[in-house]
């Protein structure tokens, strides 16, 4: 038995048993954040809050949703939307958050690429972040199946067919994933399980890893400046806060972080109450029918760029290009051969690469929504080839980059 003194306060009682003061010091009061940052550094907190909103709204939807092919559609479109008090609120919050979370993820990602925040000890932050992107994608897809409308069914059909790996014709694999020859009861129930349990648990574990990977390298700053945290922390703690290049995570930085969150939430709830239809595809308000394909099958906006990379090629080439697009971002810290961890605008050719990649992905997104005809087909094809080409040249242009 370890020796315990009688505690003189509630705080001391908890500190003796849980080490709360040490935790608070490591995670908040002496977790140093550079001063030289801007609002883009708040996107992580915006994402954490949005995940929380998805979790809470999801819990309320879960109480009335029925994972059964005969009942699912009505449990969403009738029970939740019309009978449950404020059921419409949870559904619209959940749908809008599922869409907006990807907008913030993309901003968060491109901020990291622009400021070079994926190298010099920050590789694991990038990799865990990209794994989170994959997990969020799987979560969005599995959730899209649940209302069991036409778009749910046919997106489920098309995406699971990708696992036949083109000419390899692995139909057994596809049937195994579905638990049936076509998306049916077994498919709906297992995607329900994935959506409400397995993937959310994986996401929470990955968020823990993502935060953990950030603690030792600290966040980057606007100039990629290397900061001696011990020296700057001493200045701060001795009261010379103005001269120190850092502030404490809590409450100093958190107050700014949460201010950005507040601005974001005003925008978010504006969408929820007045402009939620962008997150609700009209085709998905028809119940699933295995004998009628919708005229156009397209994914939600956040998957359009990778869908457009699949589309303009023949089946096997398209699948390979698609697989390439899914994994290539993970390798960014290793494909960027330059040691410079500064904003892209100071990195010569990389500045052009950054903006070309951003514009190319916006073009791919736009073309993915348009029907694959005529000039749109050609633009889509060029943009898809450009995407692959940009990744192939990246190691070379960064290898010749001048060391700053």
Q: Which residues bind another protein (CB under 8 A)?
A: 154, 157-158, 161-162, 167, 169, 175-182, 184, 186, 190, 290-293, 295-297, 311, 313-316, 318, 372-373
Q: Which is nearer to another protein, 99 or 164 (CB)?
A: 164
Apex CA 210: angle with CA 300 and CA 389, to 5°? 55
Residues 265-301: b if buried by 16+ CB within 10 A, e if exposed: beebeebbeeebeebebebbeebbeeeeebeeebbbb
Q: In the complex, what is the shortest distance from the CB of residue 247 to another protein, in angstroms, rounded to a whole number? A: 47
Q: In the complex, what is the shortest distance from the CB of residue 328 to another protein, in angstroms, rounded to a whole number? A: 22
Q: In the complex, what is the shortest distance from the CB of residue 382 to another protein, in angstroms, rounded to a whole number? A: 18
Q: Which is nearer to another protein, 154 or 302 (CB)?
A: 154
Q: Which is nearer to another protein, 38 or 167 (CB)?
A: 167
Separation of alpha carbons 14 and 11, rounded Å: 5
Q: In the complex, what is the shortest distance from the CB of residue 181 to another protein, in angstroms, rounded to a whole number? A: 4
Separation of alpha carbons 266 and 319, rounded Å: 40
Sign of the dihedral through C-alpha 157, 129, 211, 268: negative
Q: Which is nearer to another protein, 184 or 357 (CB)?
A: 184
Q: Which is nearer to another protein, 345 or 378 (CB)?
A: 378
Q: Which is nearer to another protein, 234 or 316 (CB)?
A: 316
Q: Which is nearer to another protein, 237 or 315 (CB)?
A: 315
- With contact defined as beta carbons under 8 Å apart, do 327 and 398 qualify? no
Q: Which is nearer to another protein, 230 or 373 (CB)?
A: 373
Look up residue 149 and give its DSSP letter: B
Q: Which is nearer to another protein, 91 or 311 (CB)?
A: 311
> Which one, of 318, 309, 314, lies nearest residue 382 by Cα?
309
- With contact defined as beta carbons under 8 Å apart, do 150 and 294 qualify? yes
Separation of alpha carbons 209 and 296, rounded Å: 39
Q: Which is nearer to another protein, 91 or 178 (CB)?
A: 178
Separation of alpha carbons 244 and 384, rounded Å: 47
Q: In the complex, what is the shortest distance from the CB of residue 191 to another protein, in angstroms, rounded to a whole number? A: 12
Q: In the complex, what is the shortest distance from the CB of residue 137 to another protein, in angstroms, rounded to a whole number? A: 18
Q: In the complex, what is the shortest distance from the CB of residue 81 to another protein, in angstroms, rounded to a whole number? A: 28
Separation of alpha carbons 26 and 19, rounded Å: 11
Separation of alpha carbons 317 and 390, rounded Å: 18
Q: In the complex, what is the shortest distance from the CB of residue 389 to another protein, in angstroms, rounded to a whole number? A: 22
Q: In the complex, what is the shortest distance from the CB of residue 367 to another protein, in angstroms, rounded to a whole number? A: 13
Look up residue 82 and give its DSSP letter: I
Residue with tokens 């308000």: 285
- With contact defined as beta carbons under 8 Å apart, do 381 and 308 qualify? no
Other C-beta atoms lying within 10 Å of the C-beta of residue 124: 17
Helices 254-274 and 43-62: angle between axes, nearest 10 degrees: 50
Q: In the complex, what is the shortest distance from the CB of residue 153 to another protein, in angstroms, rounded to a whole number? A: 11
Separation in Å, CA 282 to CA 6, 119, 278, 286, 327: 65, 43, 9, 8, 31
Apex CA 226: angle with CA 224 and CA 229, to 5°? 130
């Amino acid at each position: 038995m370890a020796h315990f003194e009688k505690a003189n306060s509630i705080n001391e009682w908890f500190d003796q048993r849980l080490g709360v003061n040490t935790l608070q010091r490591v995670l908040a009061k002496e977790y140093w954040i550079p001063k030289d940052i801007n609002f883009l550094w708040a996107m992580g907190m915006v994402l954490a809050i949005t995940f929380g909103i998805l979790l809470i709204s999801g819990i309320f939807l879960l109480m009335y949703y029925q994972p059964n092919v005969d009942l699912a559609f009505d449990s969403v479109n009738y029970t939740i939307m019309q009978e449950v008090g404020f059921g419409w609120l949870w559904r619209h919050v959940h749908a809008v958050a599922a869409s907006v979370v990807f907008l913030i993820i993309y901003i968060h990602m491109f901020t990291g690429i622009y400021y070079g925040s994926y190298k010099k000890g920050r590789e694991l932050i990038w990799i865990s972040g990209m794994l989170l992107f994959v997990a969020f994608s799987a979560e969005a897809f599995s959730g899209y199946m649940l209302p069991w409308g036409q778009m749910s069914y046919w997106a489920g059909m098309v995406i699971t067919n990708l696992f036949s790996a083109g000419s390899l014709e692995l139909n057994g694999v596809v049937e195994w994933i579905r638990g049936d020859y076509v998306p049916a009861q077994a498919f709906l129930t297992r995607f329900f399980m994935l959506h409400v349990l397995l993937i959310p648990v994986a996401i929470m574990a990955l968020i823990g890893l993502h935060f953990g990977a950030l603690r030792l390298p600290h966040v980057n700053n606007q100039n990629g400046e290397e900061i001696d945290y011990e020296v700057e922390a001493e200045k701060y703690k001795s009261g010379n806060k103005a001269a120190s290049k850092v502030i404490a995570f809590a409450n100093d930085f958190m107050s700014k972080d949460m201010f950005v969150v507040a601005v974001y939430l005003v925008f978010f709830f504006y969408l929820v109450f007045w402009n939620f239809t962008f997150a609700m595809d009209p085709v998905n308000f028809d119940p699933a029918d295995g004998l009628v394909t919708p005229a156009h099958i397209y994914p939600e906006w956040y998957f359009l760029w990778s869908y457009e990379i699949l589309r303009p090629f023949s089946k096997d080439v398209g699948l390979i290009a698609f697989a390439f697009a899914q994994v290539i971002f993970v390798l960014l810290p290793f494909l960027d051969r330059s040691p410079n961890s500064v904003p892209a605008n100071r990195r010569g050719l990389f500045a052009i690469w950054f903006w070309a990649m951003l514009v190319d992905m916006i073009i791919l997104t736009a073309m993915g929504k348009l029907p694959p005809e005529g000039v749109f087909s050609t633009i889509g094809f060029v943009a898809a080839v450009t995407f692959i080409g940009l990744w192939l040249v990246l190691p070379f242009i960064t290898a010749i980059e001048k060391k700053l």
